[in-house]
């Protein structure tokens, strides 16, 4: 059986499973559509949260970012996992105890203001749409290679699949679909990693293989990789080249962005009790750790295999002839995500750090998907990785679109535009909003602002700067009032967006086109790190404005107390 047919069978079987689950778990009420009826078991919710979390950025792009960035990109691992600790300890149980459907609903009630709720909706949509662009980018990458279609066609196919099971099933369908998707993606990620770790080091456990001796040299794998990169003029894999300030701010931006992302937070509204919300966060961290402990090994080992492909004789003096390139190179060339430019006309693939002399370009986002082919693993493993990559991208896209749809239908239409709307009408509005969001995300996914993981990092910065501070102050400060919360959210969001746009050169192309992520404007702060600065400004403005204006009403202060205190922690208060 040829590889294309095998890919179709495996990917088709997983898609059939997702659609079948969506039909079985079809939402019939607003409670089921928004919060899965609040009846999801904590372990299952933890697994669904893991799938919701481990997006195209985690599955497809993160290992590629680490593979080419080395030590500097370890912040992705620290930030994205550390954020779950914040979420479990500081937000999830309190928000579940409040007993609402959405994040803007909590902010609107806590700050006794429809304006605050509307601003929260704007912040949510901005962050979520930016995030979903990264997922659609990953969908296009996966489909373009494994189904041998154009990137645009792949995006449209992925959008159609998400549309069906997200619009039909709502949060209930998405939850149980994500449980299945987690199983698919974690198997797809770990099996190739085990094979490759055995090939390179003889150790079947990838995280341990990363620190084992390479068979080819007898030296530790990372030391071997450092030597290979040094010979080619690249920075050593384990060397820090970014500033400590930027790495700290980037890690913090990812951490508090994680804790402020609405599509993650709403997962904790689906469990029966407050204690289940904390338990769900713990289980989610366990399920996420299975992939995040493996990703550094996948990235390092992929870079070793990539260099070995170009220099098969183990010496940089004897690069591979282009005509002798392996099939995996030919396959990925068709996607346009890998290329060869014979600058010196010698017919050899020169892969070096010098941009003027380098002839081999590899898109970061293909590393995880190409890894099984680079290592010459069996066809069924390649097909499994394709299914896993698509499961990761589609599961998170569905969660994000659910958050957007809920904000539009519940927090805008139901709350402000048409409070008398029936439950059936609200469900229809939610599904229409999701369909529109899918269409917008697909369009934007055709022209993303960076690699999947970089685009997602921008979304985290926006969530960190706007939503996280409002949630933290709403739970832990009785003094912050509606004026302070609104002023803080607007400040954090606007300042962060302006910095990102200026930094990326999206305002005045002629004057700022030279700006890149390696070319910060303020100190050493890159656009992907600025969310932490935006959050600090949000806190500061909210505090100053609140203390300069009247205190919140007594009943709001009592509400804050009731959310925080342990009394009744086993139950949610459904207002």
Domains (ranges, CATH) in the chain?
Answer: 3-302+377-452 (1.20.1730.10)
Backbone angle region of 45, left / alpha / beta, with phi > 0 → left and psi within -120 to 50 → alpha: alpha
Residue 542 parent element (H or E): helix 531-548
493/43 Cα distance (integer angstroms) = 34
Residue spans of beta strands (DSSP E) within 212-366: 338-340, 360-362
Q: Who wins on pLDDT, 543 or 61?
A: 543
Instruction: Summarize the confidence of residues 57-75 as an average pLDDT.
Output: 84
Q: Does pLDDT of 504 surpass 70?
A: no
Q: Does pLDDT of 119 surpass 50?
A: yes
b or e along 38-74 (b: 16 or more beta carbons within 10 Å of the residue's beta carbon)?
bebbbbbbbbbbbbbbbbbbbbbbbbbbbbbbbbbbb
- Averaged pLDDT of the chain: 82
397/408 Cα distance (integer angstroms) = 17
Instruction: Summarize the confidence of residues 491-500 as an average pLDDT.
Output: 90
Give the pTM.
0.80
Q: Does pLDDT of 458 surpass 50?
A: yes
Q: Which of 208-222, 295-309, 526-540, 552-566 has the lowest mean pLDDT?
A: 552-566
Instruction: Summarize the confidence of residues 22-42 as an average pLDDT.
Output: 69
273/278 Cα distance (integer angstroms) = 9
Residue 197 is predicted with a pLDDT of: 95
Residue 125 is predicted with a pLDDT of: 86
Q: What is the DSSP string of 19-73?
A: HHHHHHT---SHHHHHHGGG---HHHHHHHHHHHHS-HIIIIIIHHHHHHHGGGG
Nearest CA to 476 among 95, 80, 122, 88? 95
Q: Does pLDDT of 508 surpass 80?
A: no
| Per-residue pLDDT tens digits for 429-454 | 888 888 888 888 788 777 665 555 55
The residue with tokens 């139950």 is: 571
Q: How confident is the model at residue 406 (pLDDT cuts 50, 70, 90)?
A: confident
Instruction: Summarize the confidence of residues 50-73 as an average pLDDT.
Output: 81
Q: Does pLDDT of 52 surpass 70?
A: yes
Instruction: Summarize the confidence of residues 135-163 as an average pLDDT.
Output: 74
Residue 347 parent element (H or E): none
Q: Does pLDDT of 89 surpass 90?
A: no
Residue 514 is predicted with a pLDDT of: 39
The residues pairing with 213 across neighbouring beta strands, listed in sequence order, are 220
Torsion sign, CA atoms 233, 237, 238, 243: positive
What is the Cβ-side half-sphere exposure of residue 12, based on CA atoms within 13 angstroms? 7
Instruction: Summarize the confidence of residues 287-293 as an average pLDDT.
Output: 89
Distances from the Cα of 15 to the Cα of 1, 144, 208, 296, 431, angstroms: 20, 17, 33, 29, 21
512/500 Cα distance (integer angstroms) = 12
Residue 56 is predicted with a pLDDT of: 67
Q: Does pLDDT of 568 surpass 60?
A: no
Instruction: Summarize the confidence of residues 387-398 as an average pLDDT.
Output: 76
Q: Does pLDDT of 575 surpass 60?
A: no
Q: What percent of the chain has pLDDT over 90?
A: 27
548/498 Cα distance (integer angstroms) = 27
Which of 384-388, 438-442, 468-472 holds the top average pLDDT? 468-472
Q: How confident is the model at residue 178 (pLDDT cuts 50, 70, 90)?
A: confident
Instruction: Summarize the confidence of residues 117-130 as an average pLDDT.
Output: 87
Q: How confident is the model at residue 507 (pLDDT cuts 50, 70, 90)?
A: very low
Residue 519 is predicted with a pLDDT of: 55
Instruction: Summarize the confidence of residues 257-284 as an average pLDDT.
Output: 80
Q: Does pLDDT of 536 surpass 70?
A: yes
Which of 158-162, 259-263, 337-341, 511-515 holds the top average pLDDT? 337-341
């Amino acid at each position: 059986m040829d590889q294309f047919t095998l890919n179709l069978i495996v990917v088709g079987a997983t898609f059939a499973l997702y659609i079948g689950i969506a039909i079985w778990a079809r939402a019939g009420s607003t409670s089921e559509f928004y919060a899965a009826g609040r009846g999801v078991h904590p372990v299952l919710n933890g697994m669904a949260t893991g799938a919701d979390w481990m997006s195209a950025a985690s599955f497809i792009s993160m290992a590629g970012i680490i593979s080419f960035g080395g030590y500097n990109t370890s912040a992705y691992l620290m930030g994205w996992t550390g954020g779950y600790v914040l979420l479990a300890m500081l937000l999830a149980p309190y928000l579940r105890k409040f007993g609402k459907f959405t994040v803007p609903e909590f902010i609107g009630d806590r700050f006794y203001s429809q304006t605050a709720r509307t601003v929260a909706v704007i912040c949510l949509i901005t962050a979520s749409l930016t995030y979903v662009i990264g997922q659609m980018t990953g969908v296009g990458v996966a489909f373009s290679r494994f189904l041998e279609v154009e990137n645009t066609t792949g995006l449209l196919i992925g959008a159609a699949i998400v549309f069906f099971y997200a619009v039909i099933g709502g949060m209930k369908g998405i939850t149980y679909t994500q449980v299945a998707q987690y199983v698919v993606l974690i198997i797809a990620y770990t099996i190739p990693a085990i094979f490759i770790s055995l090939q390179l080091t003889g150790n079947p456990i990838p995280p341990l293989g990363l620190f084992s001796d390479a068979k080819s040299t007898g030296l530790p794998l990372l030391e071997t990789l450092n030597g290979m990169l040094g010979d080619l003029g690249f920075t050593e894999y384990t060397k820090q080249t970014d500033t400590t300030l930027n790495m700290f701010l980037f890690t913090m931006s990812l951490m508090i962005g994680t804790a402020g992302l609405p599509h993650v937070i709403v997962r904790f509204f689906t469990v029966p009790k407050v204690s289940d919300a904390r338990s769900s966060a713990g289980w989610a961290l366990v399920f996420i750790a299975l992939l995040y402990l493996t990703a550094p090994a996948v990235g390092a080992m992929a870079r070793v295999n990539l260099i070995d492909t170009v220099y098969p004789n183990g010496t940089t003096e004897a690069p591979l002839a282009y005509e002798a390139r392996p099939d995996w190179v030919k396959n990925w060339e068709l996607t346009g995500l890998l290329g060869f430019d014979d600058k010196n006309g010698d017919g050899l693939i020169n892969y070096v750090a010098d941009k003027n002399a380098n002839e081999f370009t590899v898109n970061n986002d293909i590393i995880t998907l190409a890894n099984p082919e680079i290592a010459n693993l069996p066809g069924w493993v390649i097909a499994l990785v394709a299914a896993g990559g698509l499961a990761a991208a589609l599961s998170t896209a569905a969660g994000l679109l659910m958050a957007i749809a809920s904000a539009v239908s519940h927090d805008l239409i139901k709350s402000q535009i048409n409070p008398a709307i029936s439950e059936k009408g609200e469900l229809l509005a939610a599904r229409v909003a999701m369909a529109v969001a899918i269409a917008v995300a697909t369009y934007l996914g055709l022209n993303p602002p960076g690699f999947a993981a970089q685009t997602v990092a921008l979304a985290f910065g926006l969530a960190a700067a706007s939503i996280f501070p409002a949630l933290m102050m709403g739970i832990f400060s009785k003094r912050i009032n509606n004026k302070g919360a609104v002023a803080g959210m607007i400040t954090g969001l606007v300042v962060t967006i302006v910095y990102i746009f200026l930094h990326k050169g999206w305002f005045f192309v002629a004057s700022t086109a030279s700006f890149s992520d390696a070319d910060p404007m303020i100190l050493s702060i890159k656009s992907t790190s600025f969310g932490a600065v935006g959050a600090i400004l949000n806190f500061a403005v909210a505090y100053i404005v609140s203390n300069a204006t009247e205190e919140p009403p007594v009943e709001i202060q009592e509400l804050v107390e009731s959310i925080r205190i342990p009394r009744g922690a086993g139950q949610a208060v459904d207002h």
